[in-house]
Chains A and B, each alone.
Chain A
């Protein structure tokens, strides 16, 4: 409803409303008043009647569509496009697609036929579903190709004036992609004055600058280049590149060339940032997967081949809690974190007390025994639940991505997992450094007989330490359930990577695990674009094999007495 009373077209098509439209109008009015808070002052008195005088014109305009010839139809469409009514874009799109139908009544009923279902339709004015026989009887409002083309851009224009900012942004992006006619420039300039959404405003400026760059005079072109200098949209960059190559004015060409270089260096920077982010994100997944192993293998020296299955138990706990409380995804995820810690931790304590405690000092035997346990756990899950993957859903806030600019967008799930991995790591460091359990764990790892002599119950400490490592694996499972399939085999995917991280970082050193995970993640993601994912992984594995030759104790080896065993 922008400047409707200044549009001569609008005036011409204004009709007295019938009783029915009067009723519909009341309905529409309440809706329109609700989502049109930006009504410009001076537009008219705020009394319902004044707005009412405005509203029916859109409805009548819609009813006018079938009448007259193609040119009349085009004029009506133009008027509709500038009316700013939320229903208009869909009507124009339907008209262009040949899905807009009109009944033979007077006034005709305008029906939008469903795109997928030829028999279903909705009333263009009220939005109600229309009976199938009405759809079948109604006739198509005819269009021809010139009109269809005009309608496409009119549809975008109509959305530019939409009351909802996200619609405006979408249609502006589309207009930038498709390009606009010169005669729309005044309308767009008008919009720029009233546009208050910052993103839409930027897009509008870009759109205008791209248009100026093609049609404006020298000063306008120069200014347009300056406006587009900071834009990373592909269309804007293409327009500037074209100006750099073939603009008749030298000043414009030079400015454009400089702008192209500027944009390219920024893009390189953002691509690098993106690779780095992917690398850190892959690294945080590795960190989560390996952090429990850094305790069980790194601190305790147990080659825990069932580590992957403890991750799997955490993931299954997530799934189980989700099925218990179906509606509340966020709550279930947050509940799953402590639950997975407890469940996997208890399984870990049972493993330690049942098997591993008899095998200390025989690392290769623990390897075989824990591998046996991993097979049992896998098969238990297969038998209890199913050999198939379980569906785990993600809450709303984990999907989608953070669009920083057209070349750089970061997925929310990866950002959250990165933050989560850091939080888990910090929590673990605090437990190890600040709590009495951490103190005892370190004491037992350094000198078991001495710790025992000083009254530390080493058996309990062993069990709790192993439980802590197992619990961390479970917590990792919660996070990984959001990224990959949850199935009986999921643990196997992480076991080798986890061992690589711990060995690469240096056994017994938590910071080593952190640096190792992030380093390997970043390395993989920087190799990946050049050789592909599988080969990148192979290269990283070979790198680790060679690295171990060079530094058999990893990046940060343990020093002093603790290193001797």
Chain B
């Protein structure tokens, strides 16, 4: 019943989900079962890379949910992604325990270095995985709740909202660069050893993280799909297309926007939490405004307002980036910039728009 509601008339989504499932089955086998000298062998580098792309896809989903369906353009989703990442980074840092350079049983290396006497209060509890995971969702969610409540209540929308989300993520970046904040300052958190007792660098752990990210994307997709096909989602679309009219029809537009914004922030937080153990570092660079704008580009390239387009876009742009930065490092920014311009000029509905238009033309 639910499956039918979520997947009927969503051929593209079903196709992308099918690809994802196939990838989730094929990649672990290619990495763990296939012998290394076989042409079908996939190295751990690729597993981690694809796992990273999956977390980006989840972030893109979160952005597409609010941008594509509620018309809220956030240029600061990196804030939620980064906060989720920091929550996980703090757990991983505490898991280092006495394996750090200074060998202090409780304090992370950078705190010993900065001569902290004891753990700051906001680091308490992060030695427990469930707590860190909870915080990875709760902190971005709360920030989005407060920020969104303020913004939507006073009807800050469109361009203004985009600009103040930039200010938010910029302010967070400046704040996390400060050593006094107690988050490792410029260097951030890194040099992780274990996650849930398993070594972070091990092949099996990487595959497990990859699988977790893939499952998160699939569940995230289904959840977003559930939202947009519900009555709630229809109101969101109405808000996107004619905000005033929806308001005049008696809907509390600000509530709708607020809840979808908070949900999107939580998704972004989960994406960040999954991202950090796979890349092995979190630093204030994640909060740089450029990163957040880039994430919006993934959605624009893939196709705004289709959800699966966001997944396609995240893979396409990051795949291209990986290839370019290896093959032609000088030209990556040219290509990315040109992509921005060309997509907005000629592909307003992104890559998936190409196929859609053809199907619509046929029907």
Contacts and interface: CB of A to CB of B under 8 A. Distances in A.
B159 A535 contact: no
B333 interface: yes
Contacts of B156: 548-549, 552
27 contacts: A303-B163, A358-B345, A367-B75, A368-B300, A368-B344, A369-B341, A371-B293, A372-B337, A372-B338, A372-B340, A373-B340, A373-B341, A374-B337, A375-B334, A375-B340, A376-B341, A379-B330, A379-B331, A496-B166, A496-B289, A500-B163, A503-B160, A541-B168, A545-B164, A548-B154, A549-B153, A550-B154
A544 interface: yes
Contacts of A368: 293, 296-297, 300, 340, 343-344
Interface in B317-353: 330-331, 333-334, 336-341, 343-345, 348
A332 to B, nearest CB: 30
A212 interface: no
Contacts of B27: none
A363 B341 contact: no
Interface residues of A, number: 41
Contacts of B168: 541, 545
A46 interface: no
A545 B170 CA distance: 12
Contacts of B167: 496, 500, 541, 544-545
Contacts of A535: 178
B341 A534 contact: no
Contacts of A382: 333
Interface string A346-389: 00000000010011000111111101111110111011000000
Given A367-B73, A534-B178, A549-B151, 5 more contacts: A364-B159, A365-B348, A537-B171, A545-B150, A548-B154
Given A535-B178, A542-B171, A355 B341 contact: yes
Contacts of B32: none
A316 interface: no
B30 interface: no
A548 B341 CA distance: 30
A549 B331 CA distance: 41
A341 interface: no
A492 B344 contact: no
Contacts, number: 119
Contacts of A552: 154-156, 160
A323 B143 CA distance: 50
A492 B337 contact: no
Interface residues of B, number: 44
A546 interface: yes
A334 B300 CA distance: 43
Contacts of B164: 503, 544-545, 548
Contacts of A372: 336-341, 344
Interface of B: 73, 75, 147, 150-151, 153-156, 158-160, 162-164, 166-168, 170-171, 174-175, 177-178, 289-290, 293, 296-297, 300, 330-331, 333-334, 336-341, 343-345, 348
A379 B334 contact: yes
Interface string A495-533: 010011001000000000000000000000000000000
B171 A538 contact: yes
B289 A375 contact: no
B337 A376 contact: yes
Q: Is the interface of A mostly helix, strand, loop or mixed?
A: helix
Contacts of B163: 303, 499-500, 503
Contacts of B300: 368
Contacts of A383: 330
B290 A541 contact: no
A542 B164 CA distance: 9
A367 B155 contact: no
Given A503-B160, A534-B177, A538-B174, A375 B155 contact: no
A541 B171 contact: yes
A134 to B, nearest CB: 56
A382 to B, nearest CB: 8
A534 B338 contact: no
Given A358-B345, A496-B170, A544-B167, A373 B337 contact: yes
A545 B289 CA distance: 16
Given A364-B158, A548-B156, A376 B344 contact: no
Contacts of A541: 167-168, 170-171, 174
Contacts of B73: 364, 367
B123 to A, nearest CB: 21
Nearest to B177: A534
Contacts of B166: 496, 499
Contacts of B155: 552
A288 to B, nearest CB: 20
Contacts of B159: 303, 363-364, 367
A372 B331 CA distance: 13
Contacts of A550: 154
A216 B160 CA distance: 70
Nearest to B157: A552
Interface string A423-448: 00000000000000000000000000
A542 B146 CA distance: 13
A537 B178 CA distance: 12
B333 A359 contact: no
Contacts of A500: 163, 167
B111 to A, nearest CB: 20
B341 A367 contact: no
A552 B331 CA distance: 40
Contacts of B174: 534, 537-538, 541
B333 A375 contact: yes
B4 to A, nearest CB: 34
A427 to B, nearest CB: 27
A541 to B, nearest CB: 4
